[in-house]
């Protein structure tokens, strides 16, 4: 596997005395640094975060990138997501590099059909989901993709997207 020099190291719970409270505070500071204070850009457009609903005075996107679960009220922390809190920003910044697949798809949501942008860094098994908005993109979530069936599904989506775009 090719070394990715621009990808930050994992942020481990053990580096914070195995204290969930200290770890959560550190994760949130990283999130603020990468997505609130730095004003990131993706493909020439502002990359915003979903602020509401706030929970424990922290933005919805923050919770989505450190927790898993279908229902908002039942989401639970996922240490693999937490450890990769520093990955979304550099991956979006390097999205044109070889090995990072970017495509659009449509997802059915509670509020109707929405266009998402998928950024899949297959080498490190990591997927970022953005939602397209007028004049900007909304950072929705990010997580590891390690299951073979999910990787096949992503590859199929990507290939279908390329075909629709007329790529060889």
| Non-local CB neighbours of 55 within 8 Å, separated by 6+ positions | 63
Closest CA to 42 of 122, 116, 125, 138: 138
Q: What is residue 9's DSSP assignment?
A: P
Q: For position 22, what pLDDT does the model report?
A: 98
Q: For position 130, what pLDDT does the model report?
A: 96
Q: For position 79, what pLDDT does the model report?
A: 96
- What are the pLDDT tens digits along the chain (168 aa)? 567 899 999 999 999 999 999 999 999 999 999 999 998 889 888 999 988 888 889 998 999 999 988 776 778 899 999 999 999 999 999 999 989 999 999 887 777 788 999 999 999 999 999 999 999 999 999 999 999 999 999 999 999 999 988 765
| Non-local CB neighbours of 81 within 8 Å, separated by 6+ positions | 65, 66, 67, 68, 142, 143, 144
Q: For position 3, what pLDDT does the model report?
A: 75
The 10 Å Cβ neighbour count of residue 137 is 21
CB distance 115 to 134 below 8 Å: no
pTM: 0.91
């Amino acid at each position: 596997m090719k070394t990715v020099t621009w990808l930050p190291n994992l942020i481990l719970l053990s580096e914070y005395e195995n204290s969930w409270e200290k770890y959560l505070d550190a994760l949130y500071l990283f999130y603020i640094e990468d997505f609130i204070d730095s004003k990131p850009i993706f493909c020439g457009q502002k990359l915003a975060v979903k602020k509401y609903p706030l929970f424990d005075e922290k933005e919805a996107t923050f919770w989505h990138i450190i927790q898993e679960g279908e229902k908002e009220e039942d989401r639970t922390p996922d240490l693999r997501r937490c450890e990769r809190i520093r990955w979304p920003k550099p991956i979006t910044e390097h999205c044109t590099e070889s090995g990072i697949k970017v495509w659009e798809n449509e997802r059915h949501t509670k509020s109707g059909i929405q266009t998402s942008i998928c950024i899949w860094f297959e080498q490190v098994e990591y997927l970022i989901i953005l939602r397209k908005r007028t004049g900007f993109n909304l950072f929705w979530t990010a997580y590891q993709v390690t299951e073979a069936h999910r990787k096949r599904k992503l590859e199929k989506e990507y290939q279908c997207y390329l075909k629709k775009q007329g790529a060889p």
